Amino acid sequence: MKPQYSLFSDKGGRLMNEDCAAVFTSRRAQCYVLCDGLGGHGLGDIASRCVTGFIGDAFRRGTLGDDILAKAHRDLCERQSEQGVTGKMRTTAVVLTIDGDRALCTHIGDSRLYHFRGGEVLWHTRDHSIPQMLVLTGEISEDEIRSHPDRNKLLRALGDEREEIKYESKHFSVQDGDAFLLCSDGFWEPVTEREMTAALQASTSAKQWLCRMADLAARNSAGKTMDNYTAIAVMR
């Protein structure tokens, strides 16, 4: 049985939505992609769409592997060079591929994948950001990432030619009843892991779970200028 999924994306309080998310499926596998274009550098919306499309094409060709983000990075850099906008088309990316009871997650930046089992968070990806580094060195707690003044300062992104591309990949097993959430920082910042878990436990479908969390994101951001917020919820 294929997992059920639901996708949500909103521009929040921004002028445009630079997030991009998509789901690609074959007879036996599913690929979920979410990218968050870096608006502060311009052309983030184009970068996120380009990378999402590139990954989708690789999935359809059967060439999607651990190195997909390295390939997407090279493609994005070539596009920048052709258009004379070197360094201005940048994006985060998180990719989840499920094939039977095996899965692969690869990511860069601060867009996250959460893996839930038994209604609780089993693990989630670690951000490539300054606050995450402060967590690893014990200077702040995990919860403080959401309110840290440097929470939007990334250390890694696709399309950044200043240094060799660095991303992370993880192979893992999945079980019936597992759930997954791919989300941009505009989605996970206003919704805590406790709220994600409570919404999951109260939901019977991926759409219901995602709608509950999207409502929470908007409610918890009341009075603030919301970032683009995007997520894909998956229930197996």
Q: How many CB atoms lie within 10 A of CB 195?
A: 15
* Residue 234 maps to a domain: no
- Convert the pLDDT of each residue in 211-233 to its tens digit: 999 999 999 998 889 999 999 99
- What is the count of structural domains for the chain? 1
Is residue 205 within 8 Å of residue 235, measured between CB atoms?
Answer: yes
CATH number at residue 144: 3.60.40.10
* Residue 138 maps to a domain: yes
Q: Which amino acid is at 221?
A: S
* Residue 134 maps to a domain: yes
- Convert the pLDDT of each residue in 66-76 to its tens digit: 999 999 999 99
Beta bridge partners of 154: 129
Q: How many CB atoms lie within 10 A of CB 209?
A: 24
Q: What percent of the chain has pLDDT over 70?
A: 98
Element (H, E) at 169: strand 168-173
Is residue 134 within 8 Å of residue 66, measured between CB atoms?
Answer: no
* Residue 78 maps to a domain: yes
Cα distance between residue 150 and residue 110, in whole Å: 12
* Residue 74 maps to a domain: yes
* Residue 236 maps to a domain: no
Among 101, 103, 155, smallest CA distance to 126 is for 155
* Residue 30 maps to a domain: yes
| pLDDT-derived band at 42, boundaries 50, 70, 90 | confident
* Residue 228 maps to a domain: no
Range of the structural domain that residue 81 is part of: 4-223
Mention every residue, 6+ apart, whose C-beta is less than 8 A from residue 196.
114, 116, 121, 181, 213
